[in-house]
Amino acid sequence: MAAATFSAGCQEPGDRRHLEADFFDLLVASERVADLVDAIRDTSSLSRRKQAVRELAKAVQDRETFAVEARVAGAVDVLTSLIKLHPGEEDLVELACRIITVCSGTIARGGKVHKLHFGKLVVHLREGSLADGLGARMWAISRSLSSMLVEKPQLVQGREVLEIGSGTGLCGIVAAKLGASKVVLTDCEEAVLLNLRECAAANASADKENRHALSATAAASFPSQVAPEDLDFDPEDADECDDLDDFLSLAASAKSSAAQDSNGHKALLQWDLDNMKVRYLSWETDVRRLQSCKGSAQSIDASPKAPDWLQDIPQMEDSATFDVILGSDVLYEEQHAEMVAAVVKVRLRPDGTALIALAIRDEALYVNLLEQCKAQGLAVHSQNADPGGENNGIMGHARDYHGFVALTITHAKQ
């Protein structure tokens, strides 16, 4: 079988550049909206407040990202107070009401619902709202990694798999459908984890299209080698549906069918469906564990207090390790280089393999990741990846990226 390569994967016809545009818009919108909302709060000048409302009204009408940021920045409450204070300013009241309507509609609508086809393999996903952060969206390079798994399913069949920075969980769910013995989908944000649980549920055994590929019994029956042509793989074979009710009914059916085990456990089973588990995983925790094990001379601060919402979400066991680690677009901030290397070092079994697909937005950050892996005794093999012509960087300009790479990471031979 030819070596697997990362290709365009499944592309949606109407999806051109929207993810990277969203990323760019969020950065711009956050700062601009904050300034406008502050100006509206300022009671020293009614004329300046009116001008800020006019600008904000135009912004939220033109771009969804501005509406999301306005809602997060508290624009609805500020504008409601403004209307009560100046009920006779008809133009001002009209614009304020328009902003409130758009903001409320945007938040309620949330993200898209997708039905992705990788040949005969079907995945149902729902993106979160832009307000949930970058992890709530489905990024192009994750489709490339998923396509590679479909081409070489033996990489995950019968293996225990961890997906880090899962987001919507595309790669991990694909691994589960290909016959992994266990897949743990992880993230660290409450809204992302709640949506991830729904995505896992929508792809559990209630999904009749793929029921045979999800049960533990079926997973064990997979042959050690499956030819790509057996899956009828076509990287262009994809579609998108916006039927939220259909998505939610799949999730509800799966959770209902697994609502209680023989011991009467309920809550945990909502996070454990078929061969998939959803868990909270803090990369920072693994960094601290690694430093502690090595007796690092660096000062190790006390672990931060866990947020209250984490009481309702199961956490990754400290001792859990895996045959395969999957990750896509997990490199955004400076500290992520050290964190990703630490998670792979701590969580990857001695003979395991990590498959990490990245868009290189910052060359120095990428180089730092390679250096961090080397420092942790990890061997890294890189190859160029091509997520397709539909993903040409922020706002469609290829220069916004320094390329795409697929990394194969293993423990270095002693």
Q: Which residue, 109, 133, 163, sits at the end of a domain?
A: 109
CATH of the domain at 198: 3.40.50.150
**pLDDT attached to residue 163:** 98
**pLDDT attached to residue 80:** 85
Q: How many CB atoms lie within 10 A of CB 380?
A: 20
212 in the same domain as 280: yes
259 in the same domain as 132: yes
**pLDDT attached to residue 127:** 84
Q: How many CB atoms lie within 10 A of CB 38?
A: 12
41 in the same domain as 140: no
**pLDDT attached to residue 227:** 33
**pLDDT attached to residue 230:** 33
44 in the same domain as 192: no
Q: Which residue, 81, 109, 137, sits at the end of a domain?
A: 109
Give the residue among 313, 312, 315, 310 at the shortest CA–CA distance from 286. 315
39 in the same domain as 167: no
What range does the domain containing 29 cover? Answer: 18-109
**pLDDT attached to residue 246:** 53
181 alpha-carbon distance from chain centroid: 22
276 in the same domain as 188: yes
Residue 160 phi, psi dihedral angles, 5° rounding: -95, 125
**pLDDT attached to residue 347:** 97
| Report field, pTM of the whole predicted structure over 0.85 | no
Using a CB cutoff of 8 Å and minimum separation of 24, what contacts does 215-221 make? 215/274, 215/275, 216/181, 216/274, 216/275, 218/179, 219/157, 219/158, 219/179, 219/180, 219/181, 219/275, 220/158, 220/181
- What are the residues whose beta carbons fall under 8 Å from the beta carbon of 317, sequence distance 6 or more? none
**pLDDT attached to residue 216:** 39
Taking 50 as the pLDDT cut, the residues of the chain under it are 1-4, 7-17, 106-108, 206-245, 261-262, 264-267, 269, 297, 299-300, 389-399
